[in-house]
Structure 1
Amino acid sequence: MSLTVAMGLMSGTSMDGIDIAILRTDGVDRVEFGPAAFFPYDAEFRWKLAQSLETAKQIQHREERPGNLEALEREITERHADAIKSLLSKTSEHPELIGFHGQTVLHRPQNTLTVQLGDGELLAHLTGIPVVYDMRANDMAHGGQGAPLVPAYHAALARSKAAEWRDLYPVVFVNIGGISNITYVPTAGDPIAFDTGPGNALIDQWVAREGGVPFDDGGRIASEGGIIETAVERYLQNPFFARSGPKSLDRLDFTLDQLGALDLSDGARTLAAVSARSILKAVDHLPEKPKLWIICGGGRKNPNIVADLRVGAALQNAEVIVAEDAGWNGDFTEAEAWAYLAVRAAKGLPLTYPSTTGCRAPVSGGEFARP
């Protein structure tokens, strides 16, 4: 099967910037990695995105853009177009297709509502490249949660290691972004996936509010603090953790209210523990205990989260590695996934499964925009 050169764009729940990755893939199990880059948002634009989450609460129908959201959607799209042009000016790769995620500002699966700001038609016009966008909506129309969508790509990565890892199945991919999610890949059959709880979002909010910095770089703030177990337990008592998957979260479903009055470093360390333990609790809802955990996303750079995961996994006789240990770039897994999913969408292949989002049957999706 021939390979398509595709570009994936991700602006995640951390709202820190745009990840871009280029893949050559058949949309099934062949993946060849191309160039990738990160384009950070400035502090003023990050603040504007954070404010948009409040405005988006007014949305009742996914097409609505109250307040400044219409102008913000255009700015987000233009920033993506600029980032694309910047990366393409430095590579000989010529993408045939773009997978455009946009910026999630509202995710309410219980109301069959998910909103990502990003104008696919405008992006195709600005770049001259066909764009696949709005890939969550069709899943919701077929009874799914609209998230997570990355599992199909995680399963493809696992298949690429099938011979090397044959004694390590089942394996679990963990993506720690603003929100954390897992993909359980069995020896055979469809993947199982769901959001597990807060990832970096609460840590970012805490250090921004209490320390005036956008994130805990390298987990240094947390490394000076201790875990306040009573606060951890308050978070873990949330009914979300007792529910089996599929399940997904909005960035605002967990807040700093349960943390209490802690000093900066104790708060950061405690929230790192919340992130790790909520991931480990996912085992309660899996068919078997995994033998291998692969950590992707920005949270893998927080040594406190990774150390807590390793301690917890060891108690279950499992090993924890980061994406780079498998030869992958953990910063760009989600952007790569959006490139991969765009190719699958173009071929009408499933993006989601009943075991990943709760859709009634495996379903494809995405809107297509031509230049």
Structure 2
Amino acid sequence: MSLETKAKLLIVEDDEGLQRQLRWAYDDYEVLIASDRNAAIDLLRAEEPQVVTLDLGLPPDPNGVTEGFATLEKILSLKPETKVIVASGHGARDSALRAIASGAYDFYQKPVDIDQLGLIVRRAFQLHGIESENRRLGEQVAEDRTVLGTMITAAPEMLKVSRTIERVANADVSVMLLGASGTGKELLARGLHNASRRGSGGFVAINCAAIPENLLEAELFGYEKGAFTGAIKTTEGKIELAHKGTLFLDEVGDIPLPLQVKLLRFIQERTIERIGGRKPIAVDTRIVCATHQDLPEMIKAGSFREDLYYRLAEIVVKIPSLAERPGDAVLLAKHFLQRFSR
């Protein structure tokens, strides 16, 4: 194994005989040797070793621990991720425990048991590697904490939702997204569209609650020229515009009953007629809908058709509210702060 690929072990020890013994024992690592605090800190800065073994009894205080603790404090202040294993003399267990409390990874007693110390060193390298990978992944997620390309989240609940949507993306079935306002239903619908085979087609969204009842039919189905006052030209509706793509019906619970009948007929026959038209038009579109309302209760109350519900809800995905997604509020706040401060 070349030096470039070896993990780095810094041995801070003033006993030259023990230096040679440890260097020989750990040829799996790139071993760096320092005899005092200044040399140790210089090597720490220059080489950035992952693991350090540190004799607490360093000159100019070889019989005490003052210099050793000063070295430990400096190492952890410069490179807090470094795993420091301290050596204590016989009967100096209190100093070792104090070092652990100060941030050292572990300790060993002199005289040195090479095999025992070797085990501690290996564990220290393994832990350092795991923590480094976790930090790398954390930084990567922090840079792009999105699911389905657009939704910012780190909540396990939302990751589960996104995995469900990814699984059903290419199953050409209707999907109903249930969740409170502001939970990202349209973002998830768009993500589903982009992840599906229809991704190259159009994604057409309409908020059924935002359009007056007398205009919603025209918005959905389009109209022929002269169909009503103001219809000065033939206009395609949202359904027709979503041909070969995805139609997103937001707040589908607000569609009035008479229009629900016409929508059900389209889903069953996959053809529409524009207002004022007599010619059936075949439309191939996938429907994704969303609502914050309790549709089963609306069915009981007679304000939503049960047959339409089952046509729209072939797959139902429940989206947790922001209050049920710990950490996402802070994550979103940071995102918008960065976005609008540019």
TM-score grouping bracket, smaller chain normalisation: under 0.3
- Which has the larger Rg? 2
Structure with the largest fraction of strand: 1
Q: TM-score, normalised by structure 2?
A: 0.28
Q: Using structure 1 for the length normalisation, give the TM-score.
A: 0.26
**Greater RCO structure (CA 8 Å; 6+ sep):** 1
